[in-house]
Structure 1
Amino acid sequence: MAESEAKTAREEWGTRFGFLMAMVGAMVGAGNVWRFPYVMGDNGGGAFVLAFLVLLFLLAVPGLMAEVALGRYTNKGVIGAFRDVLGPGGMVGLGVVVLLVNIALMSYYSPLIGWTLYYAAHSLLFTFTSSGFEAEPFMEAFFANSGLMIGLHTLVMASVAGILILGIRRGVERIVVYAVPALVVSLVIMTGYGLTLDGASEGIAFTFGIDWAYLTYSSTWIEALGQALFSTGLGWGIALTVGSYLREYDDVPLGGGVFTAIGESSIGILAALAIFPVVFAVGVEPDAGAGLAFVSLVQVFPEIPLGGILAILFFVGFFIATFTSGLLITEVSVTTVAEETRFDRTQTVLGICGLIWLVGLPSAFSADFLDFADFIFGSWGLPLATLAIILVIGWVMGPERLRVLAVNKNAGIYVGKWWDPVIKYVIPIVMIFIMGYFAVDEFGTPEMIGGMLVIILFPIIGYGIMSVVDRTATETDTAEVTGGDD
């Protein structure tokens, strides 16, 4: 009876559209508009797109189905779901790994949301179409103002906390149903204008032309793997958490896999089409790094009709999309910690947001640190967290069991037996090969060393934490039972 009441009390998505927009809204944001174009620019354009699409549909689609289904099956957050499958003890620390990666990712994602907020505010002031405006000095002055960047990081996390306190339906769902459509509209308009510019053909050629040599580079594949995971949210614990709020008749294969992957990849390529024609038209190098979207796009607004209005559409849409992703990223930790402790939702939200704010200060202080953190946690931490989820499903719970009980439950798209070996063998083998290939190829570099530290330390920390927590909980329960007999 108690278990039934607990499940009934758990919130659910109010509509199927809310669930679909939560999935896409969680994944579509800075990963598409900011990260995809600049990583693509660093890794050969069309060759990177090809590697990304291969890994997206080979790994991310079946992996997302598995993660959402695990959330639906357990109706719990990350650690609770892992404990249901593994039983209590140190191995539940694999769930802590997912949580640690999630917090690390959000710690530099929050300052990035602050960047989009700053640019959105200046778009409303028509700064980018004012006389004498120069894009690079503007960005450099912003990055040099550490106080302002920390202040924006603080404002973002305070806003995230305020909305998450309201809960799933009253807070998160009300935002996500508007965010994704707004961003798509702005990107379509940007693409339309970009394709009319001189030099647009070079941008299109860069986006879709393939330099096959790049597909032999380990850096192309590790970045494509990181992008596939970063963009779809596989390994963040987001899909698992979203899945834990599913209603009886929501569709895992459609919403959790196919719809998300198609929407995510389409918006990523749309963002590239919006950015690279502009990049080549204004003479910016395509490998300009993390500031690419913030330098190239603003240079075209003064040159086109209604450029000020277009700047508002783009940067406000960009901000809403990144902020929505931030809500869902943070909700992973909030859901998990609330279930694992005696804190209520408000206390949990404030504690988690305060921790993310603190850990995010170095990234808010330095854009260079943010860039390094993005590579370490995006290209190493995310694959580690994904492997933790996939290995638990594939080698402990069993993919066939999850497929029958949760994946195909009320599904409009039936998932056959082909899915089982993909989860158990293909995803882990491909990911481990790519990570190992890069580690050997880049042996001794700061990126390789930082990645190895994450891969070694996070599981040790997770195992240690859960060994103590679950042992203490067991001892407490035993003591209460013994005391009750006296």
Structure 2
Amino acid sequence: MASARGEFSSRFGFIMAAAGSAVGLGNIWGFPTQAASNGGAAFLLVYLLLAFTLAYPALMAEIIIGRHAHANAVNALQRIAGGPVTRRLGATTGLVGLVVASFILSFYAIVAGWMIAHCLGSLAALVGADGIAAWLTFFSLGRNASFVVVFMLLTIGIIAEGVHDGIERWSSRLMPILLVTLGCLVLYVLTLDGAMEGLKVYLLPDFSAALSPQLIINALGSAFFSLSLGVGTMLIYGSYINDRENLPVVGGLVTGVDIGIAVLAGFLVLPAMYVALHNGVEIFDAAGGLISEDTLIFTVLPELFTSMGVAGAFVSLLFFFLMSIAALTSSISMLEVPVAYTIEEHGASRRSAVLLIGGIITAISLLILLNFETLFGLVVTATTRYSQPLLGFVFCIYAGWIWRRDQLLEELRKGSPEIAGTLFWRIWPWHVRLVCPLIIFGIFAQNLFG
């Protein structure tokens, strides 16, 4: 069954695709700015701890369920359910997950379009096309709508080619490019005046700050969301893994790559902020808080690039190229969630399903742009702050409480016959059953009441 619906051809292909899904704008933009606003190294230490105690176990829940069913989230959760009530709940969770993934992609496409526009704007500036560069970097409906369409066409084109020729092939190309580009930018920025001050903030922890409840909650949220958990992206990718793979190992590799890129991005963004400060660009307000944390990437960094002269234009080009790749590797996994469901449950061809759903999501993005002040923040908040934690909570309940333990163990034994005697099997089942739901529910409660 798995072969008929597509399958990753290698462990490397799956790791690049899954890491690409996880590594997005949140890793390269969100994590460093969260670190800058929450004590730098203190946030980094708490984040690393929680990434392996929360994100990895929750990731494994989705991957194992997906590989067991070799099906979309709706079908997969129904298969491991024990009765009619849990089957209906599983189907509902899967359907809500694909709707949430679609809405996340609808706002993600807007932000990704900004990245592509700024990348091309930097290129235009380099060749002296200042008028074009100004249009590309100025916030306007025309520019935003144009690049939403461009970005969605790129995403649709990759997904239309299928699992091996589309998702795996392009993830295996784009992720190494992302890593090389990020590494080169880090090495360059660290040579600039002011960078060492940012590096100290990032690497020298204030242990008193690490005990701040708000810092812990923020780190919890970053660790959970950095792996694209809760909407079925990792479940659907898990469904394309062959039965010979050792799931705890590949899950650990995905988690490691994702966390590694987020941490590496911190070596870029925090030093860059202090380079900007050294060059006269204000990054803190009078109270010592970070100015425009959410829009830092479009305010502080462009001012930094401008202050660097011609070299800044090259750095700007590379930086926004990096961000565009990160956005694309994540977007293809989001689109695959509703596409896989439409193909498997309604018998549509892949190409027609991709065109239909991609067109609908593009239309939603354009609608958000037409009502930007009202809808953009609302969609972001509803999907990432409320829907994702609740869906992640349900996935953990299914893996920890509803799925029969002997069936779960049998699934893990396919790629690791000795799994019952390992540390993973001694810890993970009760961890995903008790610890993960409590922590995820805590994130949700903080978002709701905090």
Match of 1:274 among 257, 268, 273: 268
Match of 1:418? 427
Query: What amino acid does structure 2 have at the position aligned with 1:294?
Result: F
- 1:269 & 1:370 partners in 2: Cα distance? 28
Residues 46/400 of structure 1: CA separation in 2 closer, same or farther (3 Å cut): farther
- 1:83 & 1:176 partners in 2: Cα distance? 30
1:70 partner SS: helix
The question of 1:260 aligning with 2:258 is answered: no
Match of 2:330 among 325, 328, 334: 325
Query: What amino acid does structure 2 have at the position aligned with 1:98?
Result: G
**Superposition deviation, residue 363 in structure 1:** 4.4
2:294 partner SS: helix
TM-score, structure 2 normalization: 0.86
Match of 1:378? 384
The question of 1:342 aligning with 2:351 is answered: no
Residues 346/53 of structure 1: CA separation in 2 closer, same or farther (3 Å cut): same
Match of 1:433 among 433, 439, 442: 442
**Superposition deviation, residue 215 in structure 1:** 4.7
CA contact (8 A) 2:27 2:261 kept: yes
- 1:209 & 1:121 partners in 2: Cα distance? 37
- Which ranges of 4 or more aligned residues in structure 1 deviate by more than 6 Å? 129-133
Match of 1:14? 9
Per-residue Cα deviation, 1:25-83 (whole angstroms, up to 9, x for no partner): 11112121122223333333333323322221111111111211111101101101011
- 1:362 & 1:44 partners in 2: Cα distance? 38
- 1:399 & 1:193 partners in 2: Cα distance? 51
Is there any run of 5+ residues in structure 2 with no aligned partner, and where?
278-282, 285-289
The question of 1:296 aligning with 2:300 is answered: yes
Residues 130/8 of structure 1: CA separation in 2 closer, same or farther (3 Å cut): closer
- 1:367 & 1:335 partners in 2: Cα distance? 32
Instruction: After TM superposition, list the pairs within 5 Å mapping 1:25-424 onto structure 2.
Output: 25-86=20-81, 90-91=88-89, 92-127=91-126, 142-143=138-139, 145-211=140-206, 214-215=209-210, 219-256=214-251, 258-283=252-277, 284-285=283-284, 286-301=290-305, 303=308, 306-365=311-370, 366=372, 370-371=376-377, 373-399=379-405, 401-402=407-408, 404-411=409-416, 414=422, 415-424=424-433
1:232 partner SS: coil
- 1:431 & 1:215 partners in 2: Cα distance? 20
Q: How many residues align?
A: 429
Per-residue Cα deviation, 1:236-285 (whole angstroms, up to 9, x for no partner): 311111111112322311222x1112111111111111111111121233
Residues 63/378 of structure 1: CA separation in 2 closer, same or farther (3 Å cut): same
**Superposition deviation, residue 229 in structure 1:** 2.4
2:426 partner SS: coil
Deviates more, 1:206-215 or 1:159-168: 206-215
Deviates more, 1:69-78 or 1:334-343: 334-343
- 1:408 & 1:240 partners in 2: Cα distance? 18
**Superposition deviation, residue 184 in structure 1:** 1.3
2:64 partner SS: helix
Residues 212/104 of structure 1: CA separation in 2 closer, same or farther (3 Å cut): farther
Query: What amino acid does structure 2 have at the position aligned with 1:421?
Result: W
Query: What amino acid does structure 1 have at the position aligned with 2:88?
Result: G
- 2:254 & 2:138 partners in 1: Cα distance? 34
CA contact (8 A) 2:227 2:255 kept: yes
**Superposition deviation, residue 332 in structure 1:** 1.2
- 1:147 & 1:84 partners in 2: Cα distance? 46
1:418 partner SS: helix
Is there any run of 5+ residues in structure 1 with no aligned partner, and where?
1-5, 443-486
Residues 207/393 of structure 1: CA separation in 2 closer, same or farther (3 Å cut): same
2:320 partner SS: helix
- 2:220 & 2:105 partners in 1: Cα distance? 19
- 1:153 & 1:224 partners in 2: Cα distance? 30
CA contact (8 A) 1:66 1:407 kept: no
CA contact (8 A) 2:2 2:240 kept: no
CA contact (8 A) 2:60 2:248 kept: yes
Match of 1:483? none
**Superposition deviation, residue 132 in structure 1:** 9.3
Query: What amino acid does structure 1 have at the position aligned with 2:27?
Result: N
Per-residue Cα deviation, 1:421-465 (whole angstroms, up to 9, x for no partner): 10110100122233324544x3xxxxxxxxxxxxxxxxxxxxxxx
CA contact (8 A) 1:279 1:297 kept: yes
**Superposition deviation, residue 388 in structure 1:** 1.4
- 1:178 & 1:65 partners in 2: Cα distance? 25
Per-residue Cα deviation, 1:162-205 (whole angstroms, up to 9, x for no partner): 22121111111121011111111111111112222222222123
Deviates more, 1:276-285 or 1:201-210: 201-210
Residues 431/7 of structure 1: CA separation in 2 closer, same or farther (3 Å cut): closer
Residues 204/96 of structure 1: CA separation in 2 closer, same or farther (3 Å cut): same
